[in-house]
Amino acid sequence: DAGVTQSPTHLIKTRGQHVTLRCSPISGHKSVSWYQQVLGQGPQFIFQYYEKEERGRGNFPDRFSARQFPNYSSELNVNALLLGDSALYLCASSLAKSGGPARETQYFGPGTRLLVL
């Protein structure tokens, strides 16, 4: 079975532009989470979606938005890009409600590396 896939793998944008990153979860997984990892830091939680509804949001500005589609794939959108948005963006999927959220394992994709110039 395919794991979590993300596209594109790499992206270069300039300040002020917007970007859309895409994620396809593992088949059967209904929840998708997005994380941002900047150099030298651990991944930071941005959003989680379950059944097309936002279930959680991290401490990120409104320039960041996301949505989940009926097939459970997801998009992360970032508007008015800043240099500081340069990072690896990770998507993770989970079954959700599998033994409760405590034991819910999130399975990660390889990430999209975004460079903002």
User: Residues interacting with other proteins, by CB under 8 A?
Assistant: 3-4, 31, 33, 35, 40-45, 48, 50, 55-56, 58, 90, 101-111
CA separation for the pair 101, 91 (Å, rounded) = 17
Nearer to other proteins, 42 or 70 (CB): 42
Minimum CB separation of residue 114 from other proteins in Å reads 16
Minimum CB separation of residue 17 from other proteins in Å reads 26
Nearer to other proteins, 84 or 102 (CB): 102
Nearer to other proteins, 64 or 108 (CB): 108
Scored b (16 or more CB within 10 A) or e, 29-49 reads bbbbbbbbeeeeeebeebbbb
Lookup: tokens for 33: 């989470």
